[in-house]
Amino acid sequence: MALTLSEIHALAADFINTASLLAKRFPQARFVVPAANAQVARAFQQQLAQQPHAPEMLCLQGQTDDVLAASDVALIACGTATLEALLYQCPMVAAYRLNRWTYRVLKSLRLVRSRYFALPNLLADEKLVPEFIQDQVQPLAMADALSSLLNNAASRLYCRQRFRQIHEQLQCHSAERAADAVVGVINN
């Protein structure tokens, strides 16, 4: 989950505060943040410098795959990053914060109707990943969800198994969809 600039501005402070809470609960924990590029890494480092009680956090550029493969759990800004974590079978907590006005407009027009917003949950049609959106993005709540995952090996194993199943389904369905697309082109 390489963070983008908009995600840094919307979520970095809450993610850093969540890491601070986790560092107290799990002193052996190490925190690694993949950044999409140097500009994002600088923006994250600036946010980190503004948090006096932040734990040590290593910010890496362009190494999302390595970070997800090595992580026990992840706190992820929703979007395709959750799909990437699923493919690496990394148990996660997902968070997202839209512009306040955009979210209000979407809610008032009833354009936000889905039970889930994290791709793994949408694909599984079950809540595999704890989700926090808008005002629910609270460090204590996210730290509790991550702590629950870290303290429950059975939950992490279940997530990994379901993620593997979803990955296999996506692979199977992608071949079928590609074949259907080719047939559709030939028939037209």
The structural domains of the chain, with segments of one domain joined by +, span: 5-187
Of 5-19, 59-73, 96-110, 123-137, the least confident: 96-110
DSSP secondary structure code for residue 3 in this structure: B
For the full predicted model, state whether its pTM sits above 0.95.
no
Give per-residue pLDDT as tens, 63-112. 999 999 999 999 999 888 899 999 999 999 999 987 676 666 766 676 65
Q: Which of 37, 55, 80, 72 is nearest to 151 (CA)?
A: 72
> Do 55 and 20 form a contact (C-beta atoms < 8 A)?
yes
Rounded-to-integer distance, Cα 39 and Cα 79, Å: 20
CATH of region 5-187: 3.40.50.2000
Tokens of 54: 């932040």
Q: Which residue has the higher pLDDT, 1 or 27?
A: 27
Q: What is the dihedral of CA 147, 70, 84, 184, to 10 degrees?
A: -140
- Which of 141, 15, 165, 160 lies closest to 76 in space, CA to CA? 15
Res. 134: pLDDT tops 70: yes
